[in-house]
Amino acid sequence: MKVRVLLDLLKIELSKIEPPEYANWEALLIISHFLNLPPLKVYLYKEEFLERDLVEKIWSVLEERKTGKPLPYLLGIVYFFGRPFYIEEGVLIPRAETEILISSFLEFNIREGPILELGTGSGVIGITLLLENPRLKILGVEISSKAIKLTQRNAQFHKVEKRLFLIKGDWFSPLKEGELFSAIISNPPYLSEKEWETLDLSVKNFEPKEALVAGKEGTEYQEELLRKAPLFLKKDGFLFFEMGYNQDQRIEFLLKKYRWNFKFYQDLRGYQRVVVAWKT
């Protein structure tokens, strides 16, 4: 079977469970994974023939994907900021919206660290920043042992392990107060308990609840960031964090309550998604 034929078949089948634009992308991801190619290079091999056993392997991934299991867990790979990262069940899958967190950080041109990341997950945020700026050093705090091991694996894969230091712990708890960091960055849990109940089953059944749900309000972690970050930031330091699509009013209230200057960044759908905050 030719690559282009299989690509079209995958798109048709995946369109039964998700919007066409996602189906197109996932079809490319599946084929690129088995051909060991970057996704967009698949188009250069459209006329290539695939052996039957390879087609069967690809089709088996499709069948499992149709059960609702997220594709990154099936392939063990997720793309973030144009780069591949290892991912495993039990660790949150990075979302495209989180790339805005990276872009906002880069816009502020923070040349030196150290930088503190709270909740490293798979490590995509910290590792991406280290790749974008070879002068940075990052300290990451993560409560999940599995996530720490995965972050270490990703750091070694991208050859930044000498500039990434990891501590097991719950947010600020393992740290001593002091003017230590040029910036703090985080993609915290920001769903409320009520929102969790309405999530798609592909999320609820497979991804870790503790990485998604903050509590009753959904903004508990952001408030802790705004309250405690000044105890750890250097003078003129910055705080970067992500928030839910419907949290802008609550977050703005908290920013003013704790006397931060701030700037919001929107996602592609026009929702306020990322906050940069600083003291004067």
- 212-217 contact pairs (CB < 8 A, 24+): 212/92, 213/189, 214/188, 214/189, 214/190, 216/192, 217/192, 217/250
Contact indicator for 97, 273 with CB cutoff of 8 Å: yes
* Residue 200: predicted pLDDT: 85
pLDDT, tens only, 168-214: 999 999 999 999 999 999 999 999 899 888 888 888 889 899 989 98
Residue type, 273: R
Segment 31-58 mean pLDDT: 91
- How many whole angstroms separate alpha carbon 263 and alpha carbon 1? 52
pLDDT, tens only, 169-180: 999 999 999 999
User: Quick one: pLDDT band at residue 111, thresholds 50, 70, 90?
Assistant: confident
Nearest 5°: phi and psi at 2?
-75, 155
* Domain parsing of the chain, residue ranges: 3-67, 91-278
* Residue 90: predicted pLDDT: 92
Helix (H, G, I), strand (E, B) or coil at 206: coil
pLDDT, tens only, 56-98: 999 999 999 999 999 999 999 999 998 999 999 999 999 999 9
User: Quick one: pLDDT band at residue 274, thresholds 50, 70, 90?
Assistant: very high
For the chain, give the mean pLDDT: 93
* Residue 201: predicted pLDDT: 83
Q: Which residues contact 60 (CB under 8 A, 6 or more apart)?
A: none
* Residue 183: predicted pLDDT: 97
Helix (H, G, I), strand (E, B) or coil at 273: strand
- How many whole angstroms separate alpha carbon 52 and alpha carbon 50? 6
Segment 95-110 mean pLDDT: 94
Domain 91-278: which topology?
Answer: Rossmann fold (3.40.50)
